């Protein structure tokens, strides 16, 4: 009989450079994502149009232009019938990641798929030149959740993408427009194209409008779990239960590139004593963990304060607000999934 719950704080995964490359595939939640399984909202024609754009893009095949440098590549881009790059712009939960994963699954050739953070972590582990050499030769490179809030990382990714485009890779990316910033107030696409500068001409921007499907017609946000719920979770194989403050402290000792490995073999996650995070550093680590949990579809049983209290108003108005709003959307969805598991 189990006498103590498994805990994430007892895990200390080591950096595995080979795994960083092997993991550049769509995560388990999107392992079966295909265009045929995308469910557009009938009230949002842009979602149907985006699916069709992705279909044309993923079936276009590898670049056929001679690989004679980025200048030649950019100079010829308007002659090509299909876009060399695709940028999916929209709010949270409109299916951009599903469409990006479907493009990866349905495209031919050598291909890589990762989040913006995973590519920057790869460059940190291998060095910039090492990352370029590892990715060079790909026919398609997909970047989910392209981020513009860290100038250094943005410049790094722009350089990396320029190198890969110069070698003949096609590029596909997603990013988020803040809820309430759609239509004439949309800035994400313009910011993206400006920040990647010369590469901007490679991309066709496709807008994906709509509401967050994770909460479309969903039941109310679950109430915080009772101690009995966490005790029951602790007795299930593959489940981990951690004190929230202890977990946040532990995350500071694990490089974010290893958060996926931290969750190896886990099927459900429990947090006791959830409370507002104390500062931005803790909050940003929690965002990365939330993304890795969501990728792996790990139901979350959370006790203490409501998940909506994790990030204070100053954080939700600050420069990382898109990350925090995405994390809240995903954690809430995982909490609902925990409720369905318990039921």
Residue whose C-alpha is closest to residue 290's, from 251, 316, 318: 251
Token pair in block for residue 161:
């993408």
The rounded percent of the chain whose pLDDT value lies above 90 is 52
Q: How does pLDDT run across 129-187, given as a tens digit for each residue? A: 999 999 999 999 999 988 776 677 878 888 898 899 889 999 999 987 644 443 333 44
Give mean pLDDT, residues 118-137.
92
**CA 49/CA 93 separation, integer angstroms:** 17
**CA 136/CA 127 separation, integer angstroms:** 14
**CA 326/CA 332 separation, integer angstroms:** 10
Question: Quick count: other Cβ atoms within 10 Å of Cβ 129?
Answer: 10
The strand order across the sheet containing 85-90 reads 111-115, 140-144, 170-176, 85-90, 203-208
Q: How does pLDDT run across 246-294, given as a tens digit for each residue? A: 999 999 999 888 899 999 999 999 999 999 999 999 999 999 999 999 9
pLDDT score for 275: 97
**CA 120/CA 139 separation, integer angstroms:** 20
The rounded percent of the chain whose pLDDT value lies above 70 is 80
Are 268 and 341 a contacting pair, CB within 8 Å?
yes
Q: How does pLDDT run across 3-28, given as a tens digit for each residue? A: 466 999 999 998 778 888 899 999 99
Q: Where are the beta strands (DSSP E) in the chain?
A: 85-90, 111-115, 140-144, 170-176, 203-208, 239-243, 268-274, 300-304
* pLDDT bracket for residue 314 (50, 70, 90): very high
Mean pLDDT across the chain: 83
Token pair in block for residue 50:
């985006």
Q: Is the pLDDT of residue 204 over 80?
A: yes
């Amino acid at each position: 009989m189990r006498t103590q719950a498994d805990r994430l704080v007892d895990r200390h995964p080591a950096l595995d450079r080979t795994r960083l490359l092997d993991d550049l595939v769509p995560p388990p939640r999107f392992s079966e994502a295909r265009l045929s399984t995308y469910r557009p909202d009938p009230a949002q024609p842009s979602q149907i149009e985006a699916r069709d754009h992705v279909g044309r893009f993923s079936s276009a095949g590898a670049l056929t232009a001679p690989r004679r440098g980025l200048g030649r590549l950019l100079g010829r881009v308007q002659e090509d019938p299909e876009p060399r790059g695709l940028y999916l712009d929209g709010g949270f939960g409109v299916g951009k990641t599903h469409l990006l994963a479907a493009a990866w699954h349905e495209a031919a050739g050598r291909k890589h798929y990762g989040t913006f953070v995973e590519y920057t972590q790869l460059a940190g582990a291998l060095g910039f030149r090492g990352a370029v050499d590892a990715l060079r030769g790909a026919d398609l490179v997909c970047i989910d959740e392209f981020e513009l809030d860290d100038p250094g990382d943005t410049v790094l990714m722009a350089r990396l993408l320029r190198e890969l485009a110069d070698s003949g890779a096609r590029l596909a990316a997603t990013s988020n427009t803040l809820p309430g910033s759609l239509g004439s107030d949309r800035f994400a696409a313009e910011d993206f194209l400006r920040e990647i500068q010369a590469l901007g001409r490679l991309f066709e921007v496709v807008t994906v409008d709509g509401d967050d499907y994770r909460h479309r017609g969903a039941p109310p946000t679950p109430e915080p779990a009772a101690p009995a719920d966490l005790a029951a979770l602790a007795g299930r194989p593959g489940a981990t239960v951690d004190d929230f403050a202890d977990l946040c402290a532990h995350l500071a000792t694990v490089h974010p590139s290893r958060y996926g490995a931290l969750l190896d073999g886990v099927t459900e996650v429990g947090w006791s004593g959830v409370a507002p995070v104390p500062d931005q550093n803790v909050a940003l680590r929690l965002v990365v963990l939330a993304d890795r949990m969501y990728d792996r579809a790990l139901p979350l049983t959370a006790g203490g304060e409501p998940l909506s209290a994790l990030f204070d108003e100053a954080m939700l108005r600050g420069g990382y607000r898109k990350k925090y709003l995405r994390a809240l959307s995903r954690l809430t969805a995982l909490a609902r999934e925990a409720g369905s598991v318990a039921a």
